[in-house]
Amino acid sequence: MQKYLKIQYIIAIILLIIGILSFTVIGNYASSAENHSESIKTLDEKKKVVMNLTASSTLLSVALTALPGDTATPIAEKLADLSGYFLFIMTSIYLEKFLLTVLGFAAFKVILPIACIIGIFATFFPNQIRLRYISIKLGLFALTIASVIPLSLTISNKIEETQKINIEQSIESANKTANKIKKSSANDTSSKKNTKNSSDNMLDKAKNFISNAKDKAADLGNSLSVSYEKTKTVLNSFIDIIALFIVTTCIIPILTLATLIWLTNLFFNLKINHNSLVPSNLIKKS
């Protein structure tokens, strides 16, 4: 009996030390932004990429609206609609940045100390299996939520690294296409002005000027056709990038949390009985 009581005291002291360290040392470390500098830097770089994509899609959309006719209007409208998706991705990035420190604070300064206190009570009341079970579940839950964002960021970075070159090329292509369209539109406007001035002052050279104007118009049409095809390619690239960022910023964190909870329950075999909070395997033993 005395030996069993000594074991109870040892377990209680260990849980007390864990709770104190969690609330003071580990909690302060996990809730400090300075200790997550690498993860925050990664999120800031991702935010910068999304902002560049938003600016490029807006610039290209504005350039397309300046083209004569309504041929490029549907693509311009699609590019304008992409800003809503980029805003959603930006919100997810800010949420991850916010949760990075908040979840660490909640896990190690609130949940884990409470789990240790409940575990201490359960140590001196061995018949209270429910308390022991709640203590274990709270402790595992604290560790799970604290590791969700860092782990999901690691997975996301691995995926995004494979597409980094494609993202940079899409941004560069969008900017070049927008500048080319603007230049073509400016040349078209300049050509029209020159046509009017020449008609007033150089009537004797009208035939040569009309011939040159036809050649310029043909070149302009070919240029705009090429720009239109490039714009469709850029639009498809932007859609692929949006899908990539939705997966890495939204779906992967959710799947990571679900996977960690599933693995925890699978490893510890803690299945809740529908009649009580007591694990079904412990009920069988009792």
Looking at mean pLDDT, say which of 39-48, 123-132, 186-195 comes out highest.
39-48
Please determine, for residue 189, whether its predicted confidence score (pLDDT) is greater than 70.
Answer: no
196/177: higher pLDDT: 177
pLDDT band at 187 (very low <50, low <70, confident <90, very high): low
Mean pLDDT estimate for the chain: 76
pLDDT over 80 (residue 203): no
Q: Residue 206's pLDDT is what?
A: 40
From residue 263, give the alpha-carbon distance in Å to each of 104, 147, 255, 257.
20, 13, 12, 10
CA gyration radius for the chain? 32
Least confident segment among 16-20, 112-116, 208-212: 208-212
Residue 18, pLDDT above cutoff 90 = yes
Percent of the chain at pLDDT > 90 equals 15
Closest C-alpha among 155, 158, 168 to residue 56: 168
Tokens 């040349």 map to which residue?
187
Per-residue pLDDT, 186: 59
Asked if pLDDT for residue 17 goes beyond 50, the answer is yes
* Per-residue confidence band for 113, with pLDDT thresholds at 50, 70 and 90: very high
The residue among 91 and 78 whose pLDDT is bigger is 91
Question: Is the model's pTM score more than 0.75?
Answer: no
**Rounded Cα distance, 56 and 80, in Å:** 11
Q: In residues, how long is the chain?
A: 286
Structure confidence at residue 65 (pLDDT): 76
Domain boundaries of the chain, sorted by first residue: 2-285
